[in-house]
Amino acid sequence: MPATNAEPIVVVRDVHKSFGPVEVLKGVSLEVAKGGVACIIGPSGSGKSTLLRCINGLVPIDQGSIRVGEFDVHKLKTDAEKIALRKEVSIVFQQYNLFPHKTALENVMMAPIHVLKEGKDEVRLRAAALLKRVGLSAKADAYPGELSGGQQQRVAIARSLAMRPEVMLFDEVTGALDPETVKEVLNTIKALAQDGMTCILVTHEMRFAREIADQVYFTDGGVIVESGPPAQLFDHPTKERTRAFLSEIL
Amino acid sequence: MSRLRCTDALPQRTDLPVLLPAAARLLRTAAVERTAGVFMLRLRAKHGVALVALFLIGCAIAEAQVQAGHPSILATLWKWTPLLLRGFLFNLLISAIAMALGTLVGLFLGFAQISLVTPVKKGAWLTTHFFRNAPWLVLLFYCLFLLPFQVTVLGLTFPIPDWIKATFGLSLPVMANVSEIVRGALQSIPTTQWESAASLAFTRRQTLWMIILPQCIKRMLPPWMNLYAILTMATVLTSIVGVNEMMSLTRQALSAENRPGLLLAFYSYVLFWFFLYCYPIARWTVRLEAKYAVNI
């Protein structure tokens, strides 16, 4: 359920990031409430994926601050600190990135066993339940190479959920899928959001963003051009750039 | 990762003329294996025939020079076979120990080559390339003359026989080559696997051992076996530094017999034994390479 009045769990303030001479993020700020759903839309190369990677510390930022729950992400230095953060914030990638030498069930079980140090039997039950939740009980013993793109992506979501994160980041998770399988993945995410998971999505699925988001951010050229509730941003965009982008793709 | 299975349509789909012959061959290989359901070494008879022919020619030349009162060539070979085989087993022992040692150290040297700590990375790189590009025989001599002939631990003195030093010497280039095999394989795994593991809060060490390395085994196996075959053949180098392996024993047998006609027969006999051992390994390597080359 949207919980816009709750205190923010993710606070991004004026974040700058350059890769060599290219400044990808030029002062980005956003806030996501606990249990809220934020969608980031915008053209390719506008820094959306980089922003997500910054939030869980995969990419260090140059300037600004990122706070997730009790973690000041920009101050984390050691691996141990970053690992503590990543137990709270999980990311799902566009290319699924499942471990190809492990079955679907083992993919889900690996991190809880080796990172959270939980008991194998208990984890197995939990992993089976998670696969059931994403509708893949029948594929538990299949290897990633034997699964379709949509199925792999749902396993990847289950694998992230197995860490019991507070926040889930989705990086264009339907970008590599064909239109028919997009739906099965989106339904999985929608169910998650309805269960109160805090989600930040980078997506090109505008209809989905409108349906699920509490707040939509439109980024271009490394800055957030405009943001607002989906009804406002999609139906009454105030900035010319936003209008142009939306008319291109809607 | 989706796996590209070998299909019969592949040669037609390949636009690169250079790939066509290899693609066709790999397909035949895969097809035969699928129908048979087991892997095959596919030993090529003609390779063996050529060697046996060489051996027989050697025998024939020697036989023609046999003087009255001397036993026949085959009888002479037979007489020396137990001794020569003992030497051959020694070659295999040296190769096995050098390979085990070189692989173990080389594995960690390979890890060090992708270390994030610059001095470790640079040091591993330097070590690897030094030993990879040094002549094996020179390394053997170095080990023989630089290592002590005995060590004293807790008042007990252990002698270090020459063959141990030689084995150690051979393990150095093996180590360097394994290091390169490991580095290459590790770096061939997409970085997204590292990223994905990091996002699940795996440490770098866990990622390496549990996620990256298991995916590398298949890629490392063919070059590793190839290296072993090369090492086995290189063990005869130890004869130069006085280890009593097959080559040294052959030389001793020849001088005991003192019949110049025996040279070709005896040395082809040595070749024959090495061939018998290394050829299946080489063929198996080719087979594995073919198999993994198609399964990208």
Q: B196 to chain A nearest CA, in Å?
A: 6
The residue of chain B nearest to residue A114, with distances taken between CA atoms, is B202
Q: How far is B289 from chain A (nearest CA, A)?
A: 19
User: CA-to-CA distance for A246 and A224, rounded, in angstroms?
Assistant: 15
Is residue A69 left, alpha or beta, with left meaning phi > 0 and alpha meaning psi from -120 to 50? left
CA distance A241 to chain B (A): 33
* CA gap A137, A243 in Å, rounded: 43
Q: Which residues of B touch A82 (CB under 8 A)?
A: 198
Compute the average pLDDT of residues B197-223: 91
Domains (ranges, CATH) in chain A? 8-249 (3.40.50.300)
Q: Check CB contact under 8 Å for A90 and B200.
A: yes
Going by the DSSP 8-state scheme, the letter that residue B235 receives in this structure is G
Is ipTM > 0.95 here? no
**Contact indicator for A154, A119 with CB cutoff of 8 Å:** no
The share of chain B scoring above pLDDT 70, in percent, equals 82
Query: What would the mean pLDDT of B82-107 be, rounded to a whole number?
Result: 94
Distance between CA atoms of residues B33 and B27, nearest Å? 10
A226 and A218 Cβ atoms separated by less than 8 Å: yes
* Contact yes or no for A97 and B192 at CB 8 A: yes
- Closest alpha carbon to B218 in B287, B138, B135: B287
DSSP state of B212: I
> What CA–CA distance (Å, rounded) separates A224 from A245?
13
With beta carbons under 8 A apart, name residues in chain A contacting B212. none
pLDDT for res B43: 61
Contact assignment for A97 to B196 by CB distance below 8 Å: yes
Please check whether residue A103 is in contact with residue A141, taking contact to mean a CB–CB distance below 8 angstroms.
yes
Q: List the CATH code of the domain at B83-283.
A: 1.10.3720.10
Give dist(CA B170, CA B44) in Å, integer.
Answer: 30
Shortest distance, CA A123 to any CA of chain B (angstroms): 15
- B204, A58: Cβ pair inside 8 Å? no
Is the model's pLDDT at B19 over the cut of 80? no
Task: Give backbone dihedrals phi and psi of B176, rounded to 5 degrees, phi first.
Answer: -65, -40
What are the angstrom distances between the C-alpha of A62 and each of A9, A74, A81, A171, B210?
22, 9, 18, 21, 32
Test A114 with B210 for CB contact under 8 angstroms.
yes
pLDDT tens digits along B97-145: 999 999 999 999 999 999 999 999 999 999 999 999 999 999 998 888 8
Q: Which helix (H) or strand (E) holds B245?
A: none
In order, the DSSP letters of B157-170 are EEE--HHHHHHHHH
State how far residue A87 is from chain B, nearest Cα, in angstroms: 6
Question: Which positions ≥6 away from B98 have C-beta within 8 Å?
Answer: B167, B168, B170, B171, B174, B231, B235
Whole-number Cα distances in Å, B4 to A143, A233, B294, B296: 14, 44, 7, 6
Residue of A nearest to B295 (CA): A145
Q: Which helix (H) or strand (E) holds A30?
A: strand A22-33
Phi, psi for B200 (deg, rounded to 5) = -95, 15
Residues of A in contact with B295 (CB under 8 A): none
**What are the beta bridge partners of residue A216?**
A39, A228
Task: Report how many helices (DSSP H) and strands (DSSP E) chain A contains, helices first.
Answer: 9, 10
Q: Which of A34, A125, A48, A127 is nearest to A88 (CA)?
A: A34
pLDDT at B286: 79
| Mean pLDDT, residues B283-296 | 68
Residue B207 pLDDT exceeds 70: yes
Q: What angle do CA B291, B19, B25 make, to 5 degrees?
A: 45
B222 pLDDT exceeds 90? no
Q: Which residues in chain A land under pLDDT 70?
A: 1-6, 250
Cα gap B163→A218, rounded to integer Å? 72
Query: Residue B172 pLDDT > 90, yes or no?
Result: yes
B211/A99 Cβ within 8 A:
yes
B203 contacts A163? CB cut-off 8 A: no
The chain B residue lying nearest A56, using CA atoms, is: B199
Exposure string for A44-64, b = 16+ CB within 10 A, e = fewer = eebbbbbbbbbbbbbbebeeb
For residue B2, list chain A residues with Cβ-Cβ distance below 8 A.
Answer: 145
CA of A13 vs chain B CAs: smallest distance (Å): 22
Confidence of residue B33 (pLDDT cuts 50, 70, 90): low
Residues in A lying within 8 Å of B, measured between beta carbons: 56, 58, 79, 82-84, 86-87, 90-91, 93, 95, 97-101, 110-111, 114-115, 144-145, 159-160, 163
From the list B193, B200, B214, the residue facing A111 with the nearest CB is: B200
